[in-house]
Structure 1
């Protein structure tokens, strides 16, 4: 059987974004070659608007040819499911992030409802207050939809450390057991998506709490090194099981080959070469969707105004609600929605269409709000 041609894969993110690191870990564990494009930590990001009609402001964004994916919960599932991008061992074994259907369900639930949200709120609460006093704080206030009080957030660091301590206390017995067996969180011989989920949050939280990465986060406004740290609760003596697993995972990742090609923000030649490849990539006639047990309940979706070919507005249910993405609904399932975005035009050049035509934007249904939208809608 002939192999499927692998489309170009591009990850758009920045180094101090924990969710960008999550996808980079997944790509490395799966041994998938890709291009990592550095974008600013704050708006605007004209590279995404100008080339993909993408006004969605969260990071990262992953392009697999002309299929563009938002939110890491969906990105990781697509990496694990797309037959054209999976890497194979010499014996033909496919690298997967889930061993079977059971571990896949558990991993998805734990990631979507534990590590990506409640745990992220705790680790975000460890960011040094100097960050919230920078322009980054203003940008994130716009993302959240209300002003941020740096003094109040500084006063909550101890509360968030206590919350992290509670979290580590709950999971410690699990890690103590799997370390003795030389296994990973869900019992496999190789790390799974949930190992990535726990690791990327703890790694980012530990680093950002002591100011490692805040220079990148604030666009160079604040230098690294200012922060209380998390060592009061996250250390080898207090939680040896989690600590040993954490460093075992770290060593495992470092032992793997790195197939990442990095394009810095000012690398115009590298970016042009990548965009040309994405522009030339073929798009399937059929809208690809994640495999699900059942198709959408068409009558129910239509009762909610979601008909194929109609205008739809998609926004996160938490932050970023004021910047919905509007376009034509072209695909929908119980777990995913796909739109062809309206053309907002090149930044500073009203009415100019984006460079890459035929883009389809994929969003998860979990923690996203999908509503019918009028032709001229720009706000919900």
Structure 2
């Protein structure tokens, strides 16, 4: 079977550009710490031993680090920059790290042993981030062409391409999370989910976010009771869906007592999560992140008679093991906070001595940052390319289709294929977005 254009590019890149400590590009994570989506990337970076810089963002707009320094309207978190390439959406981020940051062809968690990381004081430094050959681990994904890879991708679909996350969001306990009652946060999330038109009668929008209705007429007692009843019903349905997912994991994938999703059947975990020396894989990250998030929020899984450790002992133990693993892996990486100005300078390829630094540590006056990937091509067989007559440099706009749809990014097309679209913003930043879950259109009022 002939290889696709994107597969050929990845294979060629892997053969010619396998990374070493001397040419590893800077990695910058834009996020805020309690974002469940950002945790997916943080966990991956830790488990791979990929050190990074972080540019912390507020949980609500505005985010001038993105809009001012990168000319980016995209409002979802996280974003990951590697070299001068900026990636949107955790599905694409994890895919790129798997494809282009390989250390071996053996997947983590399926290899007999991996070397321990060196002490952090002994790590050589490059672009402000520490790296060593021993520190880096193998890719976390399942091997190509295997049933394990099919399972990994199906778990990703379950947790990232359905409404499962939004159901989980409906379980957030407003009584213990004051941010949910903050009018600014509520307005921000209404914008995030597409506007006030998605409001429902239960005081939440269609995705489970509490709606501030203080501007409307005061409801009567009967209306209050009706809203309370509908809100309770919405949460009950959400709890049932989470119960179903936990049942699926408990009674199928974890039923044989395996330590991790892709472990061999019957591979018993250590009795103590802190002493478990096996490794989670990307399949675990794909499957666990929503459940891990809810279990970490007291009151989210509010009915202990319905969801509890006795009913789901393997799921709870799996979450405990996973938390212990990512906590241990924290020691494998160095993380440095940087400003939006510094991050923007790196993405624009400025000389290191031209970038304002937050600290004097880890600075380098060498040449500017390079792109991580070769410049992509235009797939002339793509139906959208044919309809719009897309060429390199065509002014386009790109936006997500499920949330944050009002925030459209505009720039000039760099490349497009079946898996991603790449454009350059007016700030000179090369941005990658997945085709799945994003729309591409012509920018007819271009003035770049």
TM tier, smaller? 0.7 to 0.9
What secondary structure does 2:308 align onto?
Answer: coil
Aligned counterpart in structure 2 of residue 156 of structure 1, from 234, 257, 260 = 234
Q: Is the 8 A contact 1:128 1:154 kept in 2?
A: no
1:45-71 alpha-carbon deviations (Å, 9 max, x no partner): 001112211110000011112100000
Q: Distance in 2 between matches of 1:253 and 1:72?
A: 18
Aligned counterpart in structure 2 of residue 283 of structure 1, from 371, 396, 413 = 371
Corresponding position: 1:190 with 2:266: no
Where does residue 138 of structure 2 map in the other structure? 95
269-278 or 84-93: bigger deviation: 84-93
Where does residue 171 of structure 2 map in the other structure? 126
Q: Is the 8 A contact 2:72 2:409 kept in 1?
A: yes
Corresponding position: 1:254 with 2:319: no
Structure 1 residues 116 and 229: alpha-carbon distance in aligned structure 2, compared to 1, 3 A threshold: farther
Structure 2: where are the runs of 5+ without partners? 1-17, 109-113, 116-132, 204-209, 211-226, 265-277, 351-367
Corresponding position: 1:167 with 2:167: no
Corresponding position: 1:240 with 2:329: no
What secondary structure does 1:126 align onto?
Answer: coil
Query: Residue 43 of structure 1: CA displacement?
Result: 0.5
Q: Distance in 1 between matches of 2:98 and 2:373?
A: 22
Where does residue 59 of structure 2 map in the other structure? 41
Number of residue pairs matched? 336
Structure 1: where are the runs of 5+ without partners? 211-226, 264-268, 290-294, 344-353
TM-score by length of 2: 0.67
Q: Distance in 1 between matches of 2:90 and 2:323?
A: 20
TM-score by length of 1: 0.78
Where does residue 348 of structure 1 map in the other structure? none
1:3-25 alpha-carbon deviations (Å, 9 max, x no partner): 36111101011112110111100
Q: Is the 8 A contact 1:73 1:112 kept in 2?
A: no
Q: Distance in 2 between matches of 1:118 and 1:186?
A: 25
Query: Residue 143 of structure 1: CA displacement?
Result: 1.3
Query: Residue 116 of structure 1: CA displacement?
Result: 5.4
Point out the structure with max Rg over C-alpha. 2
Where does residue 313 of structure 1 map in the other structure? 397
Q: Distance in 2 between matches of 1:2 and 1:25?
A: 21
